[in-house]
Structure 1
Amino acid sequence: MNERILILVGIIARHFLSGDDFSSTEEIVDELLEAGFDDDEIRQAFGWIEQISLQPSSDSPPPLRQDPLRLFAPEEMRCLSRAARGFLIRLRRQGLLPPEIEEEVILRACLERDGEVGLSEVRSITALALFTSQRSDSPVIAHIIGSDRKRAYH
């Protein structure tokens, strides 16, 4: 595409975005002709804008999923290691950990230990919490346990 046509597209877009009340495209065309652009360039710019605006988007972005924002309280931050908190956040963002189960995991982890709870303990607590709320052969549980299934069952 010609650089002058790109400039025209930018000018036309600014007119529409600025809220100028043009009663017709003829006023825009007249203004562009006065600015030194020729009729063919103006026609190409409007054609390009029309083509882009009427073209259906095949790569439409997926709908935004609004997760509730979960902030850790100072007591929870002292109780859970950084790796454990990151693990819970990652599971929630992937849609694998419902908010009510996450709260249960955090509560259990903070009540069970006096010191900091690490990643392996949070994994076990999460797997058990999900196990009680879902089927035992759930892929979510297998994902959390990972390759350490033998230890999880003993």
Structure 2
Amino acid sequence: MMMDILMYLFETYVHSDAELQVDQDELEDELLRAGFQDKDIYKALQWLEELALLQQTDEHAAIASGDIRSTRIYTNKEADRLNLECRGFLLFLEQVGVMKPDIREMVIDRVMGLETNEFELEDLKWIVLMVLFNVPGNENAYTLMEELLYSKEQGILH
């Protein structure tokens, strides 16, 4: 349910060019009117706050300065959430230059921040898009990812 709220917010406020400076109470009311539950709304807004906080930490800068040829080893918990298809997609995005290691780590952090047992490749694509949108300096990568996400409808991406 949290993923539904995040996608709803992303579609409503990013793709519609709606006002991004919305009062949190107003936003909660809108989400309640849209049929979402209080506890899910709180979790989704908390998830977005944590995404914003990731940009302010130096932890990811150290990751970005690592060797680009290094291999990411996933913990058991991460591998449980991100199946082989998802991990392959993250590697693909790095190889084609859509994502750098620091962004990959932000994506993994936000995936692990979701409270869900069901997580699929489509969900991962949305998380990548949200992270790229929220991290300044990734406009070209965001555009490429958006094209990858929406080209699925034409059968290009599986």
Instruction: Name the TM-score, length of structure 1 as normaliser.
Output: 0.48
Instruction: Name the TM-score, length of structure 2 as normaliser.
Output: 0.47
Structure with more relative contact order (C-alpha pairs < 8 Å, separation 6 or more): 2
Q: Name which one, 1 or 2, has greater alpha-carbon Rg.
A: 1
